[in-house]
Amino acid sequence: MTHIEISIPAQTLTLKTSDGVYQYLVSTALRGVGQQINTGCTPKGRHYIRAKIGAELPLNAVLVGRRPTGEIYSPALAAEFPNRDWILTRILWLCGLEKGLNRLGSVDTQRRYIYIHGTPDSEPMGVPRSHGCIRMRNEDLVDVFEKIQVGCLVDIIANE
């Protein structure tokens, strides 16, 4: 069974499939681990992929509100919009499975809009820098996107 494990301490995403095990560097929240809405933290616990968004988009396509804007990320576009939290290429939207931890109320991962998504190549991987989501290199994200289905389980581990 296909399964994703995200290690916050190691800043890695490990994808386990029937074809093998794949590991990628990621960037989780600068503010650390947390469940509460409006904290900018990455939630822990068991989740699943609720939706896969952007299947046919080119690398570096810009998404806002889970919709492509028609823009392609570039340094010039970044200079024009210096305060954007860039969500690029694909979105894997997470939904929590543990009531009171990451599902329902003020800790609901889905309602917090926590994704696994692409980010500009200029952003570092392997260090916490996001606003709560799990950021990946665009090409790595496409690789994961193509290997999984909606419903894939995702475990976000905060300590090892």
Tokens of 9: 């301490």
Catalytic entry in 41, 95, 133, 152: 133
- Set 95, 117, 131, 152: catalytic member: 117
Count Cβ atoms below 10 Å from residue 157 Cβ, excluding itself: 16
- Contacts for 59 with CB less than 8 Å, ≥ 6 apart: 88, 89, 118, 138, 139, 142
Instruction: Measure the CA–CA gap between 63 and 115, rounded to whole angstroms.
Output: 12
Q: Which H or E run contains 53? A: strand 45-53
117 is catalytic: yes
Active site residues: 117, 133
